[in-house]
Amino acid sequence: MDSIPSILIPNIVKIETVEIPLPTADIPYYKPMVVPPSDLRDQEEEPVETVEETPEPPKLEIPVLDIQLPLPTAEVVATATYAAVAAVATTTLATPFFDQIKKKLQKFIQGKIEKWKQKKNQKEKIS
């Protein structure tokens, strides 16, 4: 008989591996800066009381009627002026566009109504 075929397997050779350490990172660290408040005072001092006097708003005097009307502040007048100017400018610029759109829509709707009337008349003639 023939001999049984066999495979010659070489001996196992141990392969040495290199150990790679885990990566590390230097994280920047900043020492917090302490900023004292602007109204910091010495504890031994007595607190200073400040009295703020609010000026009385200006008034418009009407001598005949003996009435005093308070006048608005400058901020209120400026805000009202800006709002009024913006409203007038927007209306002035937008009016021509809206007029054109209005005219075209009226023509379009009138045309549709005329076609509807014509179809209605034709149906009545057929009936």
* Residue 51, in any domain of the structure: no
Per-residue pLDDT tens digits for 90-104 = 999 999 999 999 999
* Residue 71, in any domain of the structure: yes
Per-residue pLDDT tens digits for 23-53 = 888 888 888 888 877 777 666 666 667 777 7
Indicate the pLDDT class of residue 64, thresholds 50, 70 and 90.
Answer: confident
* Residue 91, in any domain of the structure: yes
Look up the pTM and report it: 0.37
Q: Which domain holds residue 90?
A: 60-126
Q: What is the mean pLDDT of the chain?
A: 85
Secondary structure of the chain in HEC code, one letter for each residue: CCCCCCCCCCCCCCCCCCCCCCCCCCCCCCCCCCCCCCCCCCCCCCCCCCCCCCCCCCEEEECCCCEEEECCCHHHHHHHHHHHHHHHHHHHHHHHHHHHHHHHHHHHHHHHHHHHHHHHHHHHHHC
